[in-house]
Structure 1
Amino acid sequence: MSAPHPSAAEHGQNGGQTLEKHDEKASHVHEEDVVDAAARGHAATDAHGHSLVHFDPEAERRLVRKIDFYVVPTVAMLYLWCFIDRANIGNARLAGLEKDLGLKGYQYNILLTSFYISYIVFEIPCNLLCKVVGPGKWLPFLTFGFGLFSMLTGFATNFSNAAAIRFLLGIFESGMLPGIAYYLSRWYRKAELGFRLALYIVMAPLAGAFGGLLASGILKLNGMGKVHTWQQLFVVEGIITMGLAIISYFTLTDRPSTARWLSDEEKALAIARVKSENVGTTEVLDKIDTKKVMRGIFNPNTILTSVIFLFDNITVQGLAFFLPTIVATIYPNATVIKKQLHTVPPYIVGAFFVVAIPFMTWKTGRSLPFFVFSAPLMMIGYIMFLASKNPQVRYGATFLITSGAFVFGPLCNAQVATNALTDTARSSAIGMNVMLGNIGGLISTWAFLPFDGPNYPIGNGLNLATSSMILILSLVLWAYLIADNRRRAKIDVDTKLAGMTEKQISDLDWKHPGHRWRY
């Protein structure tokens, strides 16, 4: 590690603690001691948010590569099957689910709604439990649960028990997206986080593509006893998910300090890196505190970003449930298998943008400009849907929509995570973001109604309106954060913090006068 920040000597205290370690015969600060102290309960910034230590860039690069290799693939695989198990009902619908269950009128939409009721209600509680239990145990537990209930969906015989199973499925799936986002925030710097979130959230569009391919393959099977056609989708995919959950229980590392694959020096570096960007914090994993929970939820950045995510999820979740249906209206004479396969290419293009745009946010250090860039892609796509009945034009529109819509998953979760300073506030902020986002998912279940087909002007018009609101709110959020940073720059930080205890300073979270919004 390189020498500490020049301001360390001048601003080396935060809440009465310092990172400086003086030798009896020398007054200089030892680099390893500084990093070790930052990892062991001392603040890693001064009161003004300046990092008290610089890190060796090469050591950081080696550490990040190791974290990428050990952490990201596991959570990405879990989220892939989470999305497959949630969205396979759209493929099952094409394969005869409605007929076999005797669904009539709006019962398919009600079936989707039953999932989202539990999915929304349990969002924040699940993420707080993730913090209490630890992601290393909690995420595999959730994965096994939604794999089990996905499998049981294949044995549903009527609307009532199918709706009950979907409700229980929603409970277990509710903790996955926010839980993984929170988990990754334990490992990565703020600028790095968005791209790493993208590496698992990209599994959502890939699940749409892979789910379509998998569905077409499973539907070709002759059946397994009394299990046939659409039932096979749920049973096979559920069993695979439960198997992955058992494996992940033994492979998912809870936090840097328990990682057997990190040396003691790497553990200290991993912890100090995260703390060095959060002014006023003295520990990475703090105890749950009601005030910090509220700071995360009622953070103005969290609220506005969550509303943006709500509007975006009307499109994202609508695509998951209804894209096969929409493709069927574009290619009405195609076989069921070909209709499934036509859903794959738009998801592949969407997956490319999910990775490419967060990668650019990592390299530029900016996120909101890409909010503003992505929303018009969705708007243009829905204008094409509304303005033309040509199948090729409409199919082309789905590519634009997936390109713009899916990127908001990593962008919104990174935006709320990087602007919440304490671990508890970050957990509740991410939970709040995903909870409001999934209210958008609930709305999406009623966006494409039977009487609106085959062109669905109401559903497409709604999505044009929501994508337009995303653009407007992104500009509002950007302007607010710039203005508030200017206001904060005029505050006398030392005077504001005078007489406050370490806990009181930590509880300030985003209200800490030394905090600056990232956008």
Structure 2
Amino acid sequence: MSEKGHSSSPPLGSQEFGLTKGSDGISGIDEDLEKKAVRRVDYTVLPVMSMFYLLSFLDRGNIGNARVAGLQQDLKMTDAQYQICLTVLFVPYIASELPSNLILRKIGPSILMPTLLTVWGIIVTLQGLVTNFAGLLTVRVLLGLFEGPMAPCIVCYLSGFYTRKELSLRIALFFSAASLAGAFSGFLAAAIQKMDGVGGKAGWAWIFIIEGLFTVCMGLAGFFVIPSTPSHSKFLTSEQKKVLMARLERDRPSIKPSDKFSGGEILRSVRSPHVVIVFILFFLAGTGTFGLALFLPSIVSELGFSRTKTQLLSVGPFAAGFLVMVISAYLSDRYQSRGVATALVATLAVAGYSIYLGAQDKFVAYGALYLMVPGLSATTPILSTWLSNNSEPYYRRATSIALGFIAANSGGILSTWRFPTKEGPRYTETTIMFLTFSICVVLGSLLNVAYLSSKNKSKARVGRREELLEKYSEDEDGGLRAWMELGDEHPDFRYTL
């Protein structure tokens, strides 16, 4: 549904590789070599990023499993204090997302991301040692500060390895780790909580300690396996590196690291209507996603299931979320449709909340979770890809991606106050709110499709190209300056719908 945005004049340096026609239809890239190079990235980069995000989601959400295992009772916390512990994580979480994305290129992904993972693993481990509300509150603030940058950094990082048309599935594969984390955490917590009393520690404390130590180990390993760019990969041949860089430069002429940081790029991102619309969609979907991630074990427990059954029954909805996320992202890439795909996925959430709202039987209510969780969580990779696809050059893209996650995590703050125990298990007001939000996601996605379609038609208007490129007509740099300054406003750039 969209066209690739690339200049009619190839970027500087792309001719020197002496390559042949590629699978993306762009001359100059050998098809077989290209496929092998992309697969090599799939096998070496994606699994690491998926594990990083799985640990991010697991370490952020395991407090829900710990609560079921007795955390709140043992620390003698009220519902309000527990909700405060959830909320404070999101404040530094949000504050750290944009700065980290802007410094990612400067520090280097191979340094920044493993450092963040290692430090927050230590912090998660310390959660198992807290003895009161104040201690837990302090640790949650620190956790948010170091964990917040990871998701936007990964999306920005992957956009430097894959073309726009193939990015959604790859983002979904690492985001699907969140669904796996939700499923895995139930199994893991059910097993770990049986360690209750070992070493004088409660079962919930061991959930934090064991999962935190594993995160530290993965963080240390990350220093040795993460390449900053395709050119830095230890797992690619020199020919594969050239192919990857050539296809990326053809797909995104502004991917060359020649642009300098400018506050103007942040303002351009904030002023872009399509970014603002997706920002709102992220907030609406993020509120429900985080609400279910943090409170689904509590919801299942309040429906009338035992502690162990609750941990195990929490697995199914997240497993369904994983399947829907991967399938919807694949179809989104296959048909180059972001908005319609988002609307269709969000329709599942509309159906789920409608069923939950009217359910009289606890098994029907539990079954509705299999629509609610996928209908919200599966929108995130598609929306992330939509922002990445339609924001250029680098710093504008980094800003847009960070803004999307800021919006989602702002929704997370709201969600932490929408599940007081006294209103469970139906949470009627919250369910109605999330139902309304889901409907708005459907409508907002279609609105953005209409807006971006009008922008593409405007660029295609006779004389529009010459009008926009008039000031660059005498440049001798292959049009690179025009791409750097105009970014996604370049007349040859087509917004992905």
Same-fold call, TM cutoff 0.5: yes
1:453 aligns with 2:453: no
Alpha-carbon displacement from aligned partner over 1:303-326 (angstroms, at most 9, x marks no partner): 211211111111111111110111
**Cα drift, residue 129 of structure 1:** 2.2
> Is 1:288 aligned to 2:261, yes or no?
yes
Distance in 1, matches of 2:251 and 2:402, equals 21
> Are residue 265 (structure 1) and residue 239 (structure 2) matched?
yes
User: How much has 1:284 moved relative to structure 2?
Assistant: 4.8
Q: Which letter does structure 1 place at the counterpart of 2:227?
A: T
What is the match of residue 466 of structure 2? 494
Structure 1 residues 209, 414: closer, same or farther in 2, change over 3 A? same
How many pairs does the alignment contain?
484
- The alpha-carbon distance between structure 1 residues 18 and 54, as it changes in their structure 2 partners (threshold 3 A), is closer
TM-aligned CA distance change 1:62 to 1:99, over 3 Å: same
Asked whether 1:143 is paired with 2:117, we answer: yes
1:382 lines up with 2:379 in the alignment: no
- Asked if the contact 2:393–2:483 (Cα under 8 Å) also holds between the matched residues in 1, the reply is no
Q: Where in structure 1 do 4 or more consecutive aligned residues deviate above 6 Å?
A: none
For residue 184 of structure 1, report the CA deviation from its aligned partner: 0.6
- Point out the more displaced range, 189-198 or 283-292: 283-292
Residue 232 of structure 1 is matched in structure 2 by: 206
Aligned-pair CA distance for 1:302: 1.9
The residue type paired with residue 485 of structure 2 is: D
- Separation (CA, whole Å) in 2 of partners of 1:135 and 1:395: 40
Task: Give the TM-score taking structure 2 as reference length.
Answer: 0.92
Match of 1:327 among 300, 305, 309: 300
Partner of 2:315: 344
User: By how many angstroms is 1:377 displaced?
Assistant: 0.7
Q: Does 1:313 align with 2:286?
A: yes
Which of 394, 409, 418 matches 2:365? 394
Over residues 346-381 of structure 1, what are the superposed CA-to-partner deviations in whole Å (9 max), with x where a residue is unaligned? 111111011111011122222221111111110111
User: In the alignment, is residue 482 of structure 1 matched against residue 469 of structure 2?
Assistant: no
For 2:97, which of 110, 114, 123 is the aligned residue?
A: 123
Does the alignment pair 1:468 with 2:439? Answer: yes
Instruction: Give a deviation string over 1:235-278, Cα, whole Å, max 9, x none.
Output: 11000000010011111111111112222222121112112122
Structure 2 counterpart of 1:303, from 276, 287, 291: 276
| Displacement of 1:504 | 5.5
Distance 2:177 2:349 in 1: 20
1:101 corresponding residue in structure 2: 75
Query: Is residue 251 from structure 1 mapped to residue 248 from structure 2 by the alignment?
Result: no
Q: Is the 8 A contact 1:295 1:510 kept in 2?
A: no
Deviation at 1:401, TM superposition (A): 0.9
**Distance in 2 of aligned mates of 1:114 and 1:449:** 17
Task: Give per-residue Cα distances to partners, 1:145-196, cap 9 Å, x unaligned.
Answer: 2111111111112112211110110011111110111111110011111000
Moved more, 65-74 or 293-302: 293-302
Contact 2:286 2:407 in 1 (8 A): no
Superposed CA offset, 1:56-102 (max 9, x none): 22221111111101100111111111111000000111111111111
- The answer (yes or no) to whether the contact 2:391–2:488 under 8 Å persists in 1 is yes
Paired with 2:493 and 2:483, the residues of 1 have a C-alpha distance of 12
Q: Give the structure 1 partner of residue 485 of structure 2.
A: 507
Q: Is the 8 A contact 1:191 1:361 kept in 2?
A: no
Measured after TM superposition, the shift of residue 451 of structure 1 is 3.3
In the alignment, the residues of structure 2 paired with residue 504 and residue 291 of structure 1 have an alpha-carbon distance, to the nearest angstrom, of 16
User: Distance between the aligned counterparts of 2:20 and 2:30, measured in 1?
Assistant: 14
Shift of residue 290 of structure 1? 2.5
Which residue identity is paired with 1:316? T
CA distance in 2, matches of 1:421, 1:481: 15
Q: Give yes or no for contact 1:90–1:322 (8 Å, CA) kept in 2.
A: yes
The amino acid across from 2:210 in the alignment is: V
> Is the counterpart of residue 80 in structure 1 residue 54 in structure 2?
yes
- TM-score, normalization: structure 1? 0.89
Partner letter of residue 438 of structure 1? N
Q: 1:18 to 1:317 in 2, by over 3 A?
A: closer
Q: What's the counterpart of residue 26 of structure 1?
A: none
Q: Deviations over 1:402-439 (max 9, x none)?
A: 22111112101100011112222221111111111111
CA distance in 1, matches of 2:316, 2:25: 45
Q: Helix, strand or coil: the match of 2:45?
A: helix
CA distance in 2, matches of 1:18, 1:498: 24
Query: Which AA in structure 2 matches 1:515?
Result: F
> What residue is the counterpart of 1:517 in the other structure?
495
Structure 1 pair 162/406, CA: closer, same or farther in 2 (3 Å)?
same
Secondary structure in 1 matching 2:337:
coil
Query: How far apart are 1:219 and its partner, in Å?
Result: 0.6
The one-letter code of the counterpart of 2:296 is L
Q: Give the whole-Å Cα distance in 2 for the aligned partners of 1:370 and 1:225.
A: 50
| Closer/same/farther in 2, CA of residues 75 and 445 from structure 1, 3 Å limit | same
Q: Report if the CA contact (8 A) 1:308-1:473 is conserved.
A: yes
The answer to which structure has the higher helix fraction is: 2
Contact 1:306 1:412 in 2 (8 A): no
CA distance in 2, matches of 1:169, 1:508: 38
Q: Which has the larger radius of gyration?
A: 1
Matched, 1:206 2:203: no
